[in-house]
Amino acid sequence: MTRLYDTRKRVLVTGGAGFIGSHLIDRLLGMGNEVLCVDNLFTGTKRNIEHLHGEPRFEFMRHDVTFPLYVEVDEIYNLACPASPVHYQHDPVQTTKASVHGAINMLGLAKRLGCKIFQASTSEVYGDPVMHPQTEEYWGNVNPIGPRSCYDEGKRCAETLFFDYRREHEVNIKVARIFNTYGPRMHHADGRVVSNFIVQALGGEDITLFGTGDQTRSFCYVDDLVEGILRLMETESTITGPVNLGNPGEYTIRELAEKVVRLTGSSSGIVYRDLPEDDPKQRCPDITMAREIMAWEPGVTVDEGLNRTVTYFQNLLSEMTLVSA
């Protein structure tokens, strides 16, 4: 659909007040677009977008994507869904609705407008993988009735909907499977390892590892991820994904904890707790497809990214201390 008079793209970002969404909005505005940020603020926060107050090309709308949305836009980025276990297990039914109903509503909007739509899927669709590293062809090993299923299966169903809308209605879709991402604007209490470890280390608390600490993850800095998302959106319409976006560098959780202690100069010790149910033992992306079709790969080293993230949390925790004083 071509809008009259204004030649700038108007872009909708659902979940735009979240960690990744707010960084994506910064880039989209920097490219000269108008951006409509939609978020119900369940896990997103106005703090992440407060620097955009007064920006004439930015608009915020408080809305839950499980309900239909009637707006006029040229592109859609669908990122709306709690993404950390602490948050998505808080209300598992609503988490599933956010993925499934949210996908239906945003795909319906894209169909009506004839516009391109991006889906933020997740490496969680691979479950506790028996293939390592994970390629896009791998169908996964997911428990459909476990405590993480609301997120894992919700995102898997959302992918199904995206490809069915593509086949049935020729909607121009782009699907990325996002692996562990970190950086400034992470929620300080989201339960993910990077934020957990940094907050514990800065507070002089023992760092909590679940299981033996030998399980592995890959960690992608948020700026690299956003670049991958934007490059995927710019590919030709025949390229739909799913495409893995993540850093193929693999670390054990213990190695990450040791890095955080070293970078913060903390005296924190390490304590061990039982591994949560269905927690994957390995998680690492094969990004061959992203390299080939988008010439994309991460450029920020883990040490560099962690240093930036530590600085963010130092400032955040100082502000929180002043407010509570």
- CA distances (Å), 179 to each of 42, 112, 141, 219, 303, in order? 22, 31, 16, 7, 18
* 110-148: pLDDT as tens digits: 999 999 999 999 999 999 999 999 999 999 999 999 898
SS3 281: coil
The residue assigned the tokens 């028996």 is 130
DSSP per-residue codes, 114-175 = T-EEEEEEEGGGGBS-SSSSBPTT---B--TTSTTHHHHHHHHHHHHHHHHHHHHH---EEE
More confident residue, 107 or 3: 107
**Shortest CA distance to 110 belongs to which of 60, 59, 161, 160?**
161
More confident residue, 6 or 261: 261
Average pLDDT over residues 277-298: 91
Six token digits for residue 287: 């990004």
**Shortest CA distance to 107 belongs to which of 178, 242, 12?**
12
CA angle 225, 232, 19 (to 5 degrees): 30
- Per-residue model confidence (pLDDT) at position 1: 47
SS3 324: helix
Backbone CA torsion sign across 245, 92, 146, 279 = positive
Six token digits for residue 84: 């950390």
Q: Model confidence at 324, in pLDDT bands (50, 70, 90)? A: low
| pTM to 2 decimal places | 0.93
* 143-189: pLDDT as tens digits: 999 898 888 999 999 999 999 999 999 999 999 999 999 999 998 88
- CA distances (Å), 47 to each of 60, 100, 211, 223, in order? 13, 27, 34, 18
182 catalytic, yes or no?
A: no
Model confidence at 4: pLDDT above 60: no
Q: Which of 126, 151, 165, 221 is catalytic?
A: 151
CA angle 15, 192, 315 (to 5 degrees): 80
**Domains of the chain, with CATH numbers?**
10-183+220-247+279-298 (3.40.50.720)
* 251-281: pLDDT as tens digits: 999 999 999 999 999 989 989 888 777 677 8
Model confidence at 212: pLDDT above 90: no
The residue assigned the tokens 């707006």 is 71
SS3 213: coil
Under 8 Å CB-to-CB from 323, ≥6 apart: which residues?
A: none
